[in-house]
């Protein structure tokens, strides 16, 4: 299939582009390069720099490249910033995405794969999180993703577009060959920050809270390898052939891992100490978030290749060793 990957130069999008090639599809990338990196996409892949919310950019790409399906990874994703600058999040994550969907309808491109998030669940009523847990986001980031999930249901109903929305838990790790990996600016994620603390590139890691109601007092998260996530996105393609299909999947390994366990994994894999200190809780952090991905396993035959934290961290470490400061750009 000819697949437009919007946000294909970002962390998850760039890994998905490579998985698409491996699965025999033809990816085309559209990225604004606001957060994406040109170096994350092979020069052999057709690449367009531009705004997903601009029909004058998206329309011709859909036509010229004969796009069959659009995957959308191009959201802003800093929870804290979404609280202080909500309009930025509503404009990009909601308004621009609605424009993208409108352009797709106009050009009759009727299959869509959407990158959603476990942040749509807020502080979940039960754990592990199945798809039917109530979605009550506690920040604008999660709300903007939920807004699009709801818009997709209505668009599927009204116009017969088919879609799948994947709610990721903590995307982590890097490609097996270590040529692409995680490179955010600013970086806020635990694994790259712990690696940087170990190598001395950054100061001691601050562990946000050690008085949570969890076994070691630090937060539990579900770290899932970025290539495992990508493979689920491709496995769903066959299910989107039927017009009006709407599918939701929670993607995680189901294994809760504490902040201290992540630190231990980084120490084991790198052979270095991770200097760390306890700091107050970070606003908006639920004590525990982990997935029940039975639905993805059953319906998509999705099997994670990296079920535990250490091999995930090993791929992040291998990427870090050759790209300590991320991409050249
Ligand atoms: N965390 C931490 N110190 C940091 C960054 C993150 O203790 O410098 C914790 C954070 O409170 C959460 C976990 O690590 O419990 C994962 O955070 P991350 O920002 O990587 O992902 P999130 O779960 O917020 O999507």
Between the CA of 299 and the centroid of ligand 1 the distance, in Å, is 30
What does the pLDDT read at residue 45?
98
From the CB of 190, is ligand 1 less than 6 Å away? yes
Write the ipTM. Answer: 0.98
What does the pLDDT read at residue 46?
98
Q: What integer is the mean pLDDT of 295-322?
A: 97
What does the pLDDT read at residue 325?
84
With 80 as the cut, is the pLDDT of residue 329 above it? no
Strands 170-172 and 69-72 turn out to be unpaired
Domain boundaries, the chain: 2-172+224-251
pLDDT, tens digit (0-9, with 9 covering 90-100), for 116-149: 999 999 999 999 999 999 999 999 999 999 999 9
Cβ–Cβ under 8 Å, residues 176 and 22: no
Mean of the per-residue pLDDT values for the chain?
A: 97
Task: Identify the CA nearest to 144 among candidates 189, 110, 107, 94.
Answer: 94
Question: Which residues are within 8 A (CB) of 28 and not within 5 positions of it... i.e. 6 or more apart?
Answer: 2, 3, 4, 5, 45, 46, 47, 48, 61, 65, 67
Q: What is the three-class DSSP state of 30?
A: strand
pTM score, whole prediction = 0.97
Q: What integer is the mean pLDDT of 294-312?
A: 98
pLDDT, tens digit (0-9, with 9 covering 90-100), for 63-104: 999 999 999 999 999 998 999 999 999 999 999 999 999 999
Burial grade of 298 (CB within 10 A; 0-12, 13-18, 19 or more): exposed
| Confidence tier at 316 by pLDDT (50, 70, 90) | very high
pLDDT, tens digit (0-9, with 9 covering 90-100), for 160-208: 999 999 999 999 999 999 999 999 889 999 999 999 999 999 999 999 9
What does the pLDDT read at residue 61?
98
Q: Could you say which DSSP state residue 237 is in?
A: G
Between the CA of 190 and the centroid of ligand 1 the distance, in Å, is 5
**Which atom from ligand 1 is nearest to the alpha carbon of 170?**
25
Between the CA of 159 and the centroid of ligand 1 the distance, in Å, is 39
**Which atom from ligand 1 is nearest to the alpha carbon of 259?**
14
pLDDT, tens digit (0-9, with 9 covering 90-100), for 243-258: 999 999 999 999 999 9
Between the CA of 198 and the centroid of ligand 1 the distance, in Å, is 16
pLDDT, tens digit (0-9, with 9 covering 90-100), for 4-49: 999 999 999 999 999 999 999 999 999 999 999 999 999 999 999 9
| Confidence tier at 324 by pLDDT (50, 70, 90) | confident
Q: Per the residue annotation, which of 48, 141, 223, 290 is the catalytic one?
A: 141
Closest protein CA for atom 18 of ligand 1: 189
Is 290 an active-site residue?
no
Closest protein CA for atom 25 of ligand 1: 170
CATH dotted code for 2-172+224-251: 3.40.50.720
């Amino acid at each position: 299939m000819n697949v437009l990957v919007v946000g294909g130069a970002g962390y998850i999008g760039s890994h998905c582009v490579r998985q698409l090639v491996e699965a025999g599809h033809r990816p085309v990338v559209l990225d604004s390069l606001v957060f994406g990196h040109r170096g994350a996409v092979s020069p052999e892949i057709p690449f367009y720099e531009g705004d997903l919310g601009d029909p004058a950019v998206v329309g011709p790409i859909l036509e010229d490249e004969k796009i069959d399906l659009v995957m959308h990874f191009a959201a802003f994703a800093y929870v804290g910033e979404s609280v202080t600058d909500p309009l930025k999040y509503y404009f990009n994550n909601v308004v621009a995405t609605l424009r993208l969907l409108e352009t797709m309808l106009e050009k009759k491109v009727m299959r869509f794969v959407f990158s959603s998030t476990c942040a749509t669940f807020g502080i979940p009523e039960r754990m592990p999180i199945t798809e039917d847990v109530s979605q009550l986001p506690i920040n604008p980031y999660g709300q903007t993703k939920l807004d699009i999930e709801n818009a997709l249901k209505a668009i599927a109903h009204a116009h017969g577009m088919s879609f799948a929305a994947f709610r990721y838990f903590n995307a982590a790790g890097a490609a097996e060959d270590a040529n692409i990996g995680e490179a955010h600016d600013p970086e806020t994620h635990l694994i790259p920050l712990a690696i940087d603390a170990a190598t001395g590139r950054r100061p001691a890691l601050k562990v946000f809270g050690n008085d949570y109601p969890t076994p070691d007092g630090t937060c539990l998260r579900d770290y899932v390898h970025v290539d495992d996530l990508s493979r689920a996105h491709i496995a769903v393609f066959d299910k989107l052939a039927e017009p009006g299909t709407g599918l939701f999947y929670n993607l995680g390994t189901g294994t809760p891992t504490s902040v201290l366990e992540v630190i231990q994994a980084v120490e084991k894999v790198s052979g270095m100490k991770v200097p760390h200190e306890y700091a107050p809780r970070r606003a908006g952090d639920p004590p525990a978030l982990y997935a029940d991905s039975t639905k993805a396993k059953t319906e998509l035959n999705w099997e994670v290749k990296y079920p535990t934290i250490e091999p995930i961290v090993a791929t992040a470490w291998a990427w870090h060793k050759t790209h300590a400061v991320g991409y050249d750009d």
